[in-house]
Structure 1
């Protein structure tokens, strides 16, 4: 298993645990997730972070519970889909991202959409630079979809697909 952290900063030599900038509402007993942590994503779901940090996006994929009709309707022949608003596409297309390869020893799984956290300082094993971000989706089996607004996609959370929303506070009218 490989874990990654994505950033627009190419100079990171050490990841130090830090609290999230905008705390999220957490379930009782899970408030610690707003505290000082180093966050990582496992390789099969790294497409969730192939975006500039503040870009709002909705990401969907099938689970074992996904109905065939929903899989066909929303994913077609793709493993997953990533939706962004049209106004963000130029920023995605112009982005240079750095994918840091992280050692796994201090990380614990959150058992939620491939996310892992470490409470310790982490020194990356290496770094890859991604310059043509839109071209990084297809090799991962992910369809990048540009829409006028993410708002009509709220209904995805009522399907049998897994739906994740990131930085939705930055989406139009969200």
Structure 2
């Protein structure tokens, strides 16, 4: 059973249970504390930003992770809880994140295990990149016209 709880990123929000849509689920195919920068083409992305960030790629979404997380990506098992969609509503405040919330207790319909995170990512239409340090790509993405998600950055190499 999942019980609503406060969220540090949205302290004004009533306690909630959080879920993610299928399109954004790949953002979470990582060990929980793994820092990552994810960016993708948006309708309002400039031609210059598309060229700069996607020049040598055929995908619309790129995910960047620090080198030090490779072994954990190879060995981590992920448990995906599947919920009934009618228990959740779209969290409009974070328009491009794919979040859904419920303010009541919810029971998963089933649990799916992903025991090959890298393989599961490669089945998606994304590009996965590794770097020693996320700071440069983080700053570049934040200052671009792309949509992005920066997850667990507090755990990144400083």
How far apart are the structure 1 equivalents of 2:81 and 2:50? 32
| 2:113 counterpart of 1:129 | yes
How far apart are the structure 2 equivalents of 1:106 and 1:131? 27
Match of 2:131 in 1: 147
Instruction: Note closer, same or farther for the CA distance 1:73–1:137 as it changes in structure 2 (3 Å cut).
Output: farther
Match of 1:95 in 2: 76
| 2:34 counterpart of 1:55 | yes
Match of 2:144 in 1: 159
Partner deviation per Cα, 1:129-166 (whole Å, 9 max, x = no partner): 11110111222111111111000111111111111111
Match of 1:6 in 2: none
How far apart are the structure 2 equivalents of 1:135 and 1:99? 15
How far apart are the structure 2 equivalents of 1:100 and 1:50? 13
How far apart are the structure 2 equivalents of 1:64 and 1:161? 9
How far apart are the structure 1 equivalents of 2:76 and 2:85? 27
Greater relative contact order (Cα 8 A, min sep 6): structure 1 or 2?
Answer: 2
**Superposition deviation, residue 102 in structure 1:** 1.1
Partner deviation per Cα, 1:53-92 (whole Å, 9 max, x = no partner): 1111111111101123422432321131111111112111
How far apart are the structure 1 equivalents of 2:27 and 2:53? 17
How many residues are aligned here?
152
Match of 2:47 in 1: 68
| 2:85 counterpart of 1:104 | yes
Match of 2:59 in 1: 78
- Structure 1, unmatched stretches of 5+, are 1-13
How far apart are the structure 2 equivalents of 1:53 and 1:119? 23
Find the residue that maps to 2:26 and give its secondary structure.
helix
How far apart are the structure 1 equivalents of 2:112 and 2:36? 23
| 2:10 counterpart of 1:15 | no
